[in-house]
Structure formats: structure tokens, C-alpha cells
Structure 1
Amino acid sequence: MGREQTQSQMSYTVEQLVAVNPYNPDILPDLENYVNEQVSSQTYSLDANLCLLRLYQFEPERMSTQIVARILIKALMAMPAPDFSLCLFLIPERVQMDEQFKTLIVLSHYLETAKFRQFWDEAAKNHHILEVVPGFEQAIQQYAVHVLSLTYQKVPRSVVAEAINIEGVSLDKFIEQHVTNSGWIVEGKGELVSLPKNEFNHPELRRTNGAKSIPLDRIARIFPVLG
């Protein structure tokens, strides 16, 4: 209970500091501590992290590359949100040339282009960079499942295994969990997974939803404004 109160109080304090005076360099240590708190408690605050990166722009001599790396890793874990790009925009190019940041940029590219095999291979080579942030693998697996659900109606078991970097019994348990909680259906003696319908893997749903969400009378009212 005491730890929960401490975390809640820190979150409240940092949010207040960011809201009241986001460009005050005196809050820099609090924001750095909050990054470490996000790592240890597996929470996330993009606003606080962006505020810290902006302060580093004004106080470059106070920049902690360790803290910046943790911010970027947390941002990768937030995909498909564009947080990584937002954070990277605030980091000077000379800093981005650091080897660990070049690695994180490569990993980001692999995720954005759904090259999961290359991503996991690169991540394995740089485990020492990523292991400092708990929950990283699970967050990327969740993102991979999100991408698969948008891409496939039915996906081979081997593709699932490659995307989430799990095989054997662990893969069986992962699939069973999603059968129970996410509506997956296993077919073809376990070699094929049918994914729930959505407007991306079933285009006909997009047309139906689109017609409902933008009635013709609303479109007609837009034309005079555009003209």
C-alpha cells in the first residue's frame, strides 16, 4: 500500500510540475527519477518524457544518455503509437549517432515495417540495452499480434511463431491464451489460426462502418465549407 501511495504521489507531483512550468530546468532531476519509476513500475508517461527531452535541449550538458535510452525503449513498447518518432525528434543528431541509439532506431524501423524476424535477431544481439526495461518482450509481442490481426484473416502457426519469437510449448500456451481471451480459432490440426474479423482484415466491414460513420447529409454540409 505504501509503495502504491508513493508511486501515485510521484505521478501527481511530476504531472503538476510539467503542467505548471515545463521549461524550468529545476524539475529535470524529478523527471529523470520519474523515468526510472516508469521502468520499475512498468508504467508510462509520454508527456513527462517529452518534457524531459525538451529540457535536455536547453541543458545539453545535463543530458543522461542512460535516461534517454530508457525513454526510447519505453516509446518502442508503446507502438503502434508514434511515440518513438516524437521522442527521437527531440534528440540531437550527434546523440543519435551513439551506438545504442542507432540500434534502437534500427529496431524501430523493423517494427514499423513488420520485419519481426529481423527485429528479434537484432534485439537478441543487443539484449544488454533492452533488458534494463522490464516487460519489453511482452509489449513487442502484443504489438506483433496487433499487426497480424490487421493483416490476416487466417495466419499460419509458423508466422505467429516468427512474429512473437516463441516456439514449442510456449507457443501453444500463447495461442491457447488468445483462443480464450481474444477470439482466436485454431484450425488445420493446429497449424492455422483464424483471427477475429475487423475492418482491416475484412475490407467489407470498413465499407459498412464507413457508411454508418459519415452519413451523406453530413458530407453534403461539408461541400459549401470547402468551396
Structure 2
Amino acid sequence: MSVDVAGPERYNTEKLAELEKHIDNQVVDRTYQLDANLALLRLYQYQPSRINLNKLLRLLVKALMQLPSRDFQTCLYLVPDHVQAEEAVANLVMLARHLESCRFKDFWAAVEIQRELLNSVPGFYDAVRSYSVQVLTTTFQRISKTTLSELLKLDGMGLDTLVSAKCKSAGWSIAPETSGSVIILPKTEENHPKAKQSKDTKHIGLNQVMKMAAI
């Protein structure tokens, strides 16, 4: 269920309570409405004394779950500096930077500082792993299960289930010569770039080659 924030309604301070409740609804229902969340942040800008830090943090977590979109940075831009200096917000920004920079091991090493908040938002870790898999698929042609486990903070049956699902739906496969320890990822333009032919040499004919050879 979405909230109408079209036109002048987005600046109606009487909608603040409704928009805050909508944050909780998005968390429970696993939905997401960026325009409503931005409307809430703008109302907080106009009435900083009414900022609810708990609602704000949950809003930012939902935005972070949208990676690789820039929603988190878009939302953060509307958060006043003094609120960004709050420890809980600053910690969340640090985690976001780890993810945005693809420092996945650093993210998992630091996640404990916001464990309670992140655990309160269903689907957060699944969203992070989904984003991580997108990045890894465009980066690697092959990856060991050990490395994948470390980057996704997933092992045992959880890791096996993910790999099996990707083999069925995303073109992953197991390198047969590795006894299941290495995963082959599908070729993409990013992880398997084609050699580009130089414009200067593309149309060089036999006569030109002969002339250059004679120099």
C-alpha cells in the first residue's frame, strides 16, 4: 500500500505521522516507496525538532537495500548534518560505504555494530547478498566456494542452496575438475571483455602491410 505524496501534499506537515507509520509498514510488508520516504525527510528538514531517529534509521536501511541504486545517498543528502553525526547514523553510513565500495569482508566484519537495527528489517541480509552476487558476477569468471562464502558470509546449507539456485536460474555451473570447490560464472561484457580492434588498423590491406614491412 502506497501513500499519496503528489503535489503540495508532500509538504503537508499533518502527513508526518502517516509517513512515519508508512516506514513501519514498508518494513513489515517488505515493500518500498522512495517518494514517500523522501517526503518524510523533507518534512524533517522543515521541522528538525520532530525527527524520529528510529524511523529515520529504518528508512535509511530500506534505502540501502536498494543497491546498486543510489537511493541511500539520495536520502542521506536530505538528512541534516547534526543528525548524520549521531553514532547510529554514522555507523550506518560506514556500512553503506563498505558496500558501495564492494568491500564486502569489511562490511561483514563491521555489521555487528548495527546488528539490532539490521535484524529488525526483514530481508536486509538477503538484499545485501543479492547485490554482492550482482557485483561478483560482473567481476569474476570463476570463484572458489571458499571466497564466495567469505564475501557473502554464508556457509553450509545456506551457501549450497544459493549456489544450486543460481545454477538453475542464472547460468552458474560447477567446474567439474575441482570436485565442486570452484564455481564458473556466466560470461558478461564486464567479466569477459572482447579485444577491441584499433580504428587505425581495422582496414589495413595487404598492400599496406607489405609497404610497412619494407620500411
TM-score for the superposition, normalised by structure 1: 0.82
Residue 45 (str. 1) matches residue 33 (str. 2): yes
- Tell me the CA shift for residue 169 of structure 1: 2.6
Q: CA deviation at 1:150?
A: 1.1
Q: Is the 8 A contact 2:5 2:39 kept in 1?
A: no
Alpha carbons 1:56, 1:62 under 8 Å: kept: yes
1:20 CA displacement: 4.6
The alignment covers a number of residue pairs equal to 195
Query: Aligned runs of 1:123-138 on 2, under 5 Å?
Result: 123-138=111-126
Matches of 1:34 and 1:84 in 2, distance apart? 18
195-204 vs 75-84, which deviates more?
195-204
- Counterpart CA distance in 2 for 1:39 and 1:129 is 12
Alignment partners' CA distance in 1, 2:117 and 2:24: 15
Q: Name the counterpart of 2:189.
A: 199
Identity %: 38
Secondary structure at 2:174's aligned position in 1? strand
Coordinate RMSD, CA, aligned: 1.6
| 3-state SS, counterpart of residue 35 of structure 1 | helix
Equivalence map 1:1-227=2 (5 Å): 8=1, 11=2, 14=3, 16-187=4-175, 188-204=178-194
1:155 is paired with a residue of what secondary structure?
A: strand
CA shift for structure 1 position 19: 3.9
Query: What does the per-residue CA deviation read over 1:140-191, in whole Å, with 9 as the maximum and x for residues that have no partner?
Result: 0001101101111111212211121111232112111111121101112111
What stretches of structure 1 of length at least 5 have no aligned partner?
A: 1-7, 208-227
Deviates more, 1:123-132 or 1:90-99: 123-132
TM-score normalised by L of structure 2: 0.86
Q: One-letter code of the match for 2:62?
A: K
Partner in structure 2 of residue 216 of structure 1: none
Structure 1: distance between partners of 2:38 and 2:188: 33
Structure 2 distance, partners of 1:17, 1:106, is 30
Q: Greater helix percent: which structure?
A: 1
Name the CA distance, whole Å, in 2 between partners of 1:200 and 1:159: 20
